[in-house]
Amino acid sequence: MGTSLLPVILVLLAWFASPSFAEEGYDFRQLLDISQKAIGNKVSNHPLVDGRGQRLKLEQFRGKPLVISLIYTSCYQICSMATRNLAEGVEKARLALGNDAFNVITIGFDTPRDTPQSLSQFARQQGIHNLPGWTVAAAQEETVALLIQELGFRYFASPKGYDHMVQATILDSEGVIYRQVYGESFDLPLLVEPLKELVLGRPQPNEALLEGLNRRVRLFCTTFDPNSNSYRFDYSIFIGMFIGGSILLIVSFLLWREFRRAKLLAKQNPKITTS
């Protein structure tokens, strides 16, 4: 397991070590292992109902990366905080990658209570109801059961509602799980870097040469600035390459000129050699 997961593991370990989890005997490492092993799964074309009562299927989101977040609407602390923090990360990811580069869907797993109406209200409360490319959706109990198996997500009934993994799952454009992001709050690169790889790192069908070049330049030069906790296009890489190339050309030209000069002197005076 990579060192980039260490801070997340420590946070989750503290959370799973809380009295409610300890009393129920939940195994943190097993739950995290289940979640990580889900990477590579292809998520099925599950039927859903959005916050407006319109029927849809997950297949409708194919063609772009998709971030899936599972919550329950009667959770007034963890799910709300996780959704708001995810919204902040999504906003910064869109600034770096484009407003229509990927989609997000929040699905309620408490099927008796997480109706389209309650999810629509939850979206308004968290300020995500009018965000472009963000859908909230309800599902039948059997659909949720299948979906959480595919996503490696687990939840357990508790006196306060549910204890559950706090995770956002990133799917690629074909619906295959690419990365898991854990915690109520997380370091921005944990969300944006996988999306950047999916959006900018893979060739697009029928992509023109200039479009492909532009995509690779954006991938190479879109960097994280820890001081502002945001992504920006860093021109300094190209400036450094230009300066280095210019110096190399100048040095090559001077060496070539001296070589020509020495060769010309040798022709004018045979006694002078270039060795």
Q: What is the pLDDT of residues 73-119, one digit of tens each?
A: 999 889 999 999 999 999 999 988 989 999 999 999 999 999 999 99
The predicted structure's pLDDT at residue 88: 95
The mean predicted confidence, pLDDT, of the chain is 82
Is the pLDDT at 7 greater than 70? The verdict is no
Token duo for residue 242: 């230009």
The angle that helices 78-97 and 116-126 make with each other, rounded to 10 degrees, is: 70
> What's the rounded Cα separation, in Å, for the pair 154 and 75?
16
The predicted structure's pLDDT at residue 261: 77
The predicted structure's pLDDT at residue 213: 52
The predicted structure's pLDDT at residue 9: 53
Q: Sketch out the chain's domains with CATH numbers.
A: 3-233 (3.40.30.10), 236-275 (no CATH)
Q: Are 177 and 38 in contact (CB under 8 A)?
A: yes
Is the pLDDT at 20 greater than 90? The verdict is no
Q: Tell me which of 127 and 22 has the higher pLDDT.
A: 127
Could you give phi then psi for residue 155, rounded to 5 degrees?
A: -145, 155
Q: What is the pLDDT of residues 39-59, one digit of tens each?
A: 999 999 999 999 999 999 999
> What's the rounded Cα separation, in Å, for the pair 58 and 274?
75
Share of the chain above pLDDT 90, in %: 53
Mean pLDDT on 166-176: 96
The predicted structure's pLDDT at residue 76: 82
The predicted structure's pLDDT at residue 241: 58
Is the pLDDT at 2 greater than 90? The verdict is no
Residue ranges of E strands in 159-203: 161-164, 167-171, 177-182
pLDDT level of residue 246 (50, 70, 90 thresholds): confident
Share of the chain above pLDDT 70, in %: 76
The predicted structure's pLDDT at residue 135: 98
Put residue 204 in one of left, alpha, beta given phi > 0 → left and psi -120 to 50 → alpha. Answer: beta
The predicted structure's pLDDT at residue 160: 83
